[in-house]
Structure 1
Amino acid sequence: MGVLKGSVWGLLMIVWVWKLAAGEEEKCENRWIHIRRLPSRFNLDLLANCSEYPLLEDLCPFLGNHGLGQKTHNRSHSWYRTDSSMLELIFHRRMLEYPCLTPDPFLAKAIYLPYYAGLDARRYLYGPESNFSALHGLHLFHFLQQDNPQIWARHMAHDHFLVMARPAWDFSQPLTNDPRIWGTSFLELSQFFNLTALTLEARAWPWQEHAVPYPTSFHPPSLGLLESWLTRVRRSKRSILALFAGGGGGGGGGSSTPNVRRSIHSECENATSDPSYEKLCEIVDCSNGVCEHDPIRFMRPMLQASFCLQPPGDTPTRRSTFDAILAGCIPVFFEELSAKSQYGWHLPENEYEDFSVLIPKEEVVFRGLRILNVLQRIPRAKVRSLRQRVLTLIPNVLYRKHDSSPGLEDKKDAFDLAIDGTLDKIRSRVEKLDSVI
């Protein structure tokens, strides 16, 4: 973790001066970002609490490799046991490599706050401060007001952004709610209404939120390893029509309330045969989180499947959507909030029918529409076209490894697209603000 500590700021100053001398100023015009220097209590110190909550999974094993987690096996170069809650750390590490960093906050077009909001939220969600969830974020705000407050005030915080490695719902408890209700109130605080929050899942209405992809387990360090994976995906034999990797919906207990996951289980268990496929439907049981840090469990079956079913769970979005795209498996959505209304910077918002299938969950659950019948009726030529489009999206949804080779750096990944989108969002907002003033 030493690379994230204080000495890095002097290094950033040297790099910035060198880039100006090397003629990088024109390339970075309108793209300069300043990383706000925060006390370690807002980021690195929070990593020390990785095993503090006994009712939660121990996060300590996933801190390695700057948040990528441990390698899936010693000889692996690209596959890691990545936990989604490490996105803040992964993003912070990649920000230190961003080519247009400036130590001057008043030259910057955007200000990045390296605050690990999702990790800090754990004490309000599960710890002794659960009755004070409306206070989440106020300690950060007070620091920003006291330390060079003119940086925060310059554009009324419209130029600030941060990453929150949880769905926005976890940070949107109304301030008037009973504090025992789930969530903190970070995104409901008026002090933070103007900044941009990059979350794993955004709500439909607040303009300060934007969803970015869940991190998968694939983090290639070189262009050759990425192209090797793309070749494997392209050549995989698709012997399964549809696959669902996830938990819930089975008949072994739990609620009997009708839902799309139960419908999927019922269809798979009663699927017949099709001469075009060795198997019509397969379920990879990921109950109790057994798949989360073991990508072999689901990636191998996904490589063999034509369609990967993405039913909503506790919230509309799923990490599995990005695992499926990574495997070249065509995602099947059951509501638009699962992706179309979320990831506009990474998945083409107006082209969802070119790489995915939408089957409304109400049609499945209440009107008896058979998912497998819908998929079987899609012409083979259309299936090939959908998969080809999915293949082009793979670079968009992966987070490459830090310190990756120059060839791979030329391909924009999920981080790069998030930065591009954030800069555009901030630029538009600041221009509107300036026109009013």
Structure 2
Amino acid sequence: MNRKKGMGMLKGSGWPLLMLMMLSVGKMAASSEEEECENRWIHIRKLPSRFNLDLLANCSEYPMLDDLCPYLGNHGLGQKTHNRSRSWYRTDPSMLELVFHRRMLEYPCLTQDPLRAKAIYLPYYAGLDALRYLYGSESNFSALHGLHLFHFLHQDNPQIWARHMAHDHFLVMARPAWDFSQPLTNDPPFWGTSFLELPQFFNLTALTLEARAWPWQEHAVPYPTSFHPLNLGLLDSWITRARRSKRSILALFAGGGGGGGSSSPNIRRSIRSECENATSDPSYEKLCEIVDCSNGVCEHDPVRFMRPMLQASFCLQPPGDTPTRRSTFDSILAGCIPVFFEDLSAKSQYGWHLPENEFEDFSVFIPKEEVVFKGLRILNVLQRIPRSKVRSLRQRVLALIPNVLYRKHDSSPGLKAKKDAFDLAIDGTLDKIRSRVQELHSVI
């Protein structure tokens, strides 16, 4: 071919060629997205604002609670602990529903078509809506909690709800499941609402801060901590600090309870007694330290407990009103090895985030009955653990940090490549729903 003629043909067809190349790249990108999202498409159900945003408008008016308004900032992460902070916020656990909703909006596999979706997310702020039944004038009508949501779902595009008999639906409940588990037959009503006892909701998946042992539809996800990094550098910097921190305290307990009042034996009373009477050990500056978090003084002030946790080898995690504690995840962030006293505190709860078959690799278990009723000394148990084992436990704890934090929304691509508590919760939910839907259709 004549060189000039060939160049002329290429020059003349340059724009169409460029368009073809762009279309080809676009198709490849779309194809890649299709492959990545093939079994991960999620549809966010459009709900009237009375089910979510309107509940935030009353943030200062919920009875029996402090003003929740300061904790709405930064899409539920709360206000920064100080002006120069880049990762630390005064996060309230009750804002998990808002935090999760914000993160769902940037989930990469969203679809507008509910028939294409493998899961349907309900952005219903169940924990906030429950407050009027838990503390307010409607506490005598707690069996009604959730019925208004069901009526909407049943009447507005009912085919979405009916397609898989609601097995493909999920929501987040920023309270322990016990708060939504009052039997419908209770009269007069006891503590809690009956949301999870309503037959209408037996098939959906509920992500709660603490799950009960038997209902299949509940699964616990980590309590939100105060640490929400924006990029990989901030995360790595924190992990390095936790790794290099000098551990001058053998054991630390950050919490309340176990002091005056009732003299009945319990694990928190045993911990306080042992800690207050601890002797010295040449390997540590202190054998035991207590950070008194009574009356919620630590809840929105992470500095109060994170600095001591960074100095401790072991962080004691006794059950309180319920088995689980936010402190478990705070201690993991600090590289402080958690010490559990019953399986329901974590081992039977957070399988997506803290693998159940690896608990002995990152934690210590001491049965509370042995401590409370048989006189087993917690500090003696911890002192007998070889230093090499302690180092191994801490390394595993540090490796778990990304699993238990909720990174900040709009975070950097590098950090997004590491799965956090939200990502693992979505993965687990999709697997759970996929299994249930397959089982449903195999029966049908």
Q: How high is the TM-score relative to the length of structure 1?
A: 0.95
User: What does residue 296 of structure 1 align with?
Assistant: 303
**Residue from 189, 212, 215 that aligns with 2:221:** 212
Aligned-partner SS, 1:315 = coil
User: What does residue 111 of structure 2 align with?
Assistant: 102
C-alpha distance after superposition, 1:259-294 (max 9, x if no partner): 000000000110000010000000000000000000
User: What does residue 391 of structure 2 align with?
Assistant: 384
**Residue from 272, 278, 291 that aligns with 2:285:** 278
Distance 1:277 1:19, change over 3 A: farther
CA RMSD of aligned residues (A): 1.2
1:388 shift after superposition: 0.4
**Residue from 58, 78, 87 that aligns with 2:87:** 78
CA contact (8 A) 1:132 1:179 kept: no
User: What does residue 328 of structure 1 align with?
Assistant: 335
1:19 shift after superposition: 10
- Indicate the larger mover: 322-331 or 43-52: 43-52
1:18 shift after superposition: 10
Identity of aligned residues (%): 89
Matched residues in 2 for 1:179 and 1:37: separation?
Answer: 35
**Residue from 196, 200, 205 that aligns with 2:209:** 200
C-alpha distance after superposition, 1:156-196 (max 9, x if no partner): 00000000000000000000012431000000000000000
User: What does residue 353 of structure 2 align with?
Assistant: 346
User: What does residue 102 of structure 2 align with?
Assistant: 93
Aligned-partner SS, 1:428 = helix
CA contact (8 A) 1:130 1:179 kept: no
1:255 shift after superposition: 1.4
Do residues 126 (structure 1) and 135 (structure 2) align? yes
User: What does residue 196 of structure 2 align with?
Assistant: 187
1:419 shift after superposition: 0.1
User: What does residue 406 of structure 2 align with?
Assistant: 399
Gaps of 5+ in 1: 1-16
**Residue from 226, 231, 237 that aligns with 1:228:** 237
CA contact (8 A) 1:134 1:179 kept: no
Do residues 34 (structure 1) and 50 (structure 2) align? no
1:22 shift after superposition: 6.4
Kindly provide the amino acid, as one letter, of the partner of residue 289 in structure 2: E
Compare the two structures and name the one with the higher helix fraction.
Answer: 2
User: What does residue 357 of structure 1 align with?
Assistant: 364
Aligned-partner SS, 2:132 = helix
CA contact (8 A) 1:163 1:198 kept: yes
Distance 1:43 1:20, change over 3 A: farther
Aligned-partner SS, 2:174 = strand
C-alpha distance after superposition, 1:240-275 (max 9, x if no partner): 00000000002xx32111000000000011000001
1:53 shift after superposition: 2.5
CA contact (8 A) 1:118 1:166 kept: yes
**Residue from 252, 267, 282 that aligns with 2:274:** 267
CA contact (8 A) 2:341 2:365 kept: yes
**Residue from 165, 168, 180 that aligns with 1:156:** 165
1:52 shift after superposition: 1.2
Kindly provide the amino acid, as one letter, of the partner of residue 92 in structure 2: D
User: What does residue 310 of structure 1 align with?
Assistant: 317
Aligned-partner SS, 2:106 = coil
Distance 1:19 1:317, change over 3 A: farther
Matched residues in 2 for 1:371 and 1:87: separation?
Answer: 34
CA contact (8 A) 2:63 2:135 kept: no
User: What does residue 62 of structure 2 align with?
Assistant: 53
Q: Look at both structures and tell me which one has the larger radius of gyration over its CA atoms.
A: 2
Do residues 375 (structure 1) and 382 (structure 2) align? yes
User: What does residue 74 of structure 2 align with?
Assistant: 65
Output aligned runs, 1:230-245, within 5 Å: 230-245=239-254
